[in-house]
Structure formats: structure tokens, C-alpha cells
Amino acid sequence: MAGQADPSPIITIERHILDEQAFHPEATGVLTNILYDLALAGKVIASKTTRAGLAEILGRTEDVNVQGETVLKLDRFADLTVTRLTDHTGRLAGLASEENADFLPIPAPYPMGKYLLVFDPLDGSSNVDFNMPVGTIFGIYKRKREGGPVTEEEFFQPGRNLAAAGYIAYGTSTMFVYTAGHGVHGFTLDPSVGEFLLSHPNIAMPAAKYFSVNLGYQRFWSRGVQRFTEYLQGREGGVQGLSLRYIGTLVSDFHRNLLAGGVFYYPADTKDPRTARGKLRLLYEAAPLAFVAEQAGGYASDGRGPILDVTPSSLHQRTPLFIGNKDLILKVEEFIRGLDG
């Protein structure tokens, strides 16, 4: 077999990310290494999520455990894990996370890099207590200028500027899914060897099979969103045969729909001013997943236009989100335009 290519090579995440670098002859390898750092963070977080139920025995969260350490809540642990594995490498200039009100500049004496990381360390954290899947979402932007202290405004870039984005899904297996603008690729963690292996190359969304939404809030939605919901249920000329699936973890709902086809939406609330712009966060939930969706042939909208075109004006800004199969997301835009003015 000498000289012949292996017909079914085992592709580790490291090899795949390095191969992708070939698409960017100007690349210095920094982005590659950030992705690799995040994959490592994913392994560390996964090892904790699988032990979540043991808190009862080993110490409740926020209690002092047998070693005299405080047992951290899982979302705080995930936040610290990502931060500690990325802040000293000289690759990032700053980080913004759901868990912190302000962005985090790179602490002295670590060198400062040219990328900005935005992330939701533990998405769906209310599901942890019930042995349900959770996730981590990330987006990587390049700084617009090099050198000098980072300002909050530098994080206010539209999703179109994302250099890479993706998520880690902690489900029945742990998966790392990312795009750097050349398709969407998924890796499954083989726990016996501790490596993410390429399991889902070039993911493309098939025709919709599912819709995912919290129907408990239906009465708070606009007429356009109500009409869209009827349409998905096959009423009055709507699409036939969709099933409803809702986990309540954005990453998991999105991941299922990405592989099986479908739409997820979390609309604005017309009655409650606190959620008048929806619940989900533009910078570290909606925009990174919108990039993944578009790279897989799907689309994400705030109901009026592409999520990827929206420039945030604050770190924790909320947005309505409609994401999944393009034909269906264009349909909700049409209903909103026609019925909500």
C-alpha cells in the first residue's frame, strides 16, 4: 500500500484545522490555535458536565467541598475554563462572555494578540439539573486595529466579520462544530482516546423536518409570528409534516435542526418590555450560530433581515432569532412584513 492514500483516514480536529489553514495562504496559524484551545476547553467542560449529578454527593454548588475549595456552578466553571485556556496565549486581545458584564482585556503580563473571542460558556444551563444537553457557543473576530488597549466598541462588529464561529454540544456524545468560512465541520469526542475526530464533514442542512419554539409564550407574539407558527403547523396552506421538538438549549435545538433540517425561533415578546427584543443575545448566541447556519446553506434572521448584518451596540444586546432552513426563514420575514408593518 506504500504511496497510496489511506481510503478512510482518521482525521483529528488538529489535522483538520491545520488543513483548512491551506485555504488562507496569508494565515499565521493563530486562528487555528484559538480553535484548538477551544476544543481543549470543550473536553474539560465535558468532563464536568457528565459529573453534574454528583454534586449532591461531592458538595453542592457554591458549597465548600472536601478539599476546601468552593464548588463552582457549572456556567461559572465553563466561563473560567475558556478564559484560563485562552487568555495567556498571545492570540487574543480580549474576551466577552455571557457571564461577565464587561469584556475582559488580556491581563498583564500576558502578550496581546489580534483576535477577540465572544462566547456563551454554558448555554442551556437551566437544563443541567435534569440531565439534559447543554452547550458552549463561540465567535472569533479579528481586531480592526492592531496594538493599543482594547475598547468595548471593538466588539461591536456585525456577524459578517466573524473569522470563525461554532459550538460545542454536550449531549449523548460531545461534539465540536465550527466554520471558518469554508463549510461547517463536526467532530465527535472519542472519550477513550480524548480526541475530537471528524465525524460530520461539510454539513449541509436537509429539507426541514422539525420546528423548535417555546409554544408556552405563543400569546405574546406578533401577528406575523403567530401566522408563521400556523404555517409550520400545516394550517391554511402551510407546510405539511413538520414535527415539534424543543429542548430549551439553543445549541441542542440548533444542532438537531442543522443535521435533520428544521427551524428554531425565539421571537420578541409584544407584551413584556423586558423581552421586547427577544431573549437571546446577538453577540455570543445569535451571530455565531447565524454564521454556521449560512455556511450550511441555511439562514438566520431577526425577523426583518439577516442577523449577520446587525451591528451590536452593547455586549449583551438581545435579539429575536429565527434560524434554520432558508425557505422557511424567508417565509417568516414575509409574514412579519405583511402583518406587523
Residues that bind ligand AHG (CB under 6 A): 98, 120, 123-126, 214, 248-250, 279
Pick 83 or 222: Cβ nearer Mn ion: 83
The nearest distance, CB 200 to ligand AHG, in angstroms, is 21
Task: Map residue 55 onto helix, strand or coil.
Answer: helix
The nearest distance, CB 248 to ligand AHG, in angstroms, is 5
CA gap 333, 338 in Å, rounded: 9
Helix, strand, coil % over all residues of the chain, rounded to 5: 35, 25, 40
Residue nearest to Mn ion (CB): 123
Residues that bind Mn ion (CB under 5 A): 98, 120, 122-123
248 contacts which partner out of Mn ion, ligand AHG, none, CB within 5 to 8 A by kind?
A: ligand AHG
What region, left, alpha or beta, does residue 189 occupy, with left being phi > 0 and alpha being psi -120 to 50 degrees? Answer: beta
Please report the DSSP string for 184-206 in residue order: EEEEEEETTTTEEEEEE-S----
Pick 32 or 127: Cβ nearer Mn ion: 127
249 contacts which partner out of Mn ion, ligand AHG, none, CB within 5 to 8 A by kind?
A: ligand AHG
CA gap 222, 1 in Å, rounded: 64
The nearest distance, CB 135 to ligand AHG, in angstroms, is 8
Pick 36 or 217: Cβ nearer ligand AHG: 217
Parallel, antiparallel or unpaired: strands 92-97 and 210-212:
unpaired
Residues 6+ apart with CB under 8 A from 240: 234
Pick 252 or 325: Cβ nearer ligand AHG: 252
Q: Where are the beta strands (DSSP E) in 2-114?
A: 92-97, 104-105
Pick 138 or 155: Cβ nearer Mn ion: 138
99 contacts which partner out of ligand AHG, Mn ion, none, CB within 5 to 8 A by kind?
A: none
The nearest distance, CB 256 to ligand AHG, in angstroms, is 12
86 contacts which partner out of Mn ion, ligand AHG, none, CB within 5 to 8 A by kind?
A: none
Q: Are the C-beta atoms of residues 254 and 296 closer than 8 Å to each other?
A: no
CA gap 308, 162 in Å, rounded: 9
214 contacts which partner out of Mn ion, ligand AHG, none, CB within 5 to 8 A by kind?
A: ligand AHG
The nearest distance, CB 274 to ligand AHG, in angstroms, is 12
